[in-house]
Chain A
């Protein structure tokens, strides 16, 4: 079963360096973050081998959040070969996230 990647500042740059990545910036106490959690898990399965689905806990990894100007959670940033190409703020449907990823593949 494919799983999302839980990334920290130690491996973040390497994680998103190649291919398409969707990064979910979240915190454990955030209601809308929790709402999309099962969606993110399904996306990790659906895009297994095609795109990386990454979670960053902004409570612990504030450096990454600051670097990308994340001031609201959940913020979802899409990367292609390490370059930030798109950003979504707030909860959205699985189809909306999948459409963004498919647009980059």
Chain B
């Protein structure tokens, strides 16, 4: 029986692992299907992680975390978690992708979020064939070529600036007149010569052939615009990864809001005793590395007394 099972190995899960083990829990496993680090490893530049200055990528930022977090005995199980069950005796069962399972006294769920699909025609068929959600991964396939960026938030604008250094031209397609990104990021977009804004516009259809995308048709106030670009990058928000908390009947083992985000209090406690949530998966998450890490620490410092109490009562 694990003292604590941490599901997910991004900033929230790693920090939860650091604080639970350093705080005295002996038997803690972090379940992460691959190398820990999380979605931030796909970001081209981090400007807002306190204490870290200079040009640094998400991958650079996360590089030392796993080693530090495992220094106090955190174990990493490189396996995908399919489902978490809440048992009658208050413990949890972690069902793994290899068909085996493991029991735990407490669970910190830190599964994060996944980029949303924008929902236009052809997007699913051409995903990975010119439609992408990762500029640092796929930008270099479009060196010297024109690309379109769909979205108007912080991520869309930051990645558009990154792409403008590689590509000959970047079109930003945004459904509104104004952007809701940080002023500093908006200014950088405006100051970049090879970025062109297409505002009040929504993608209609991305088209291509066997080798990939050839262009995208966009609804604009002036009519249908056909952009003949080989690359389309979408940054239109995130969906939380809450499947592991779903029961067979489709309901969740703990309370979630209408967006499927896990409802927590200021201790990151969910509606189920012993189940905590941290990072992007929780309600009102600012979706920032520093906040996710903070959540992981909060969840961990509250898990420790919970586990001690459960152990004491079980011994009696």
Contact = CB atoms under 8 A, between A and B. Distances in A.
A30 interface: yes
Interface string B251-274: 000000000000000000000000
Interface stretch (B22-30, B35-43, B192-200): B35-43
A69 B209 CA distance: 11
A102 interface: no
B205 interface: no
A32 B129 contact: no
Contact of A94 (B33, B37, B40, B130): B33
B224 interface: no
Contacts, number: 96
Nearest to B35: A35
A61 to B, nearest CB: 13
Interface in A36-63: 36-39, 42, 59
Nearest to A28: B59
A29 B129 contact: no
Contacts of B112: none
Tell me whether chain A's interface is mostly helix, strand or loop, or mixed. Answer: mixed
B128 A89 contact: yes
A31 B137 contact: yes
B137 A71 contact: no
Interface residues of B, number: 34
Interface residues of A, number: 31
Nearest to B131: A72
Contact of B35 (A27, A29, A37, A70): A37
A75 interface: yes
A74 B141 CA distance: 12
Contacts of A31: 37, 39-43, 58-59, 134, 136-137
Interface of B: 33-35, 37, 39-43, 57-59, 78-80, 97-98, 127-130, 132, 134, 136-138, 140-141, 210-213, 230-231
9 contacts: A29-B136, A31-B59, A31-B134, A32-B42, A71-B128, A71-B132, A71-B141, A71-B212, A93-B33
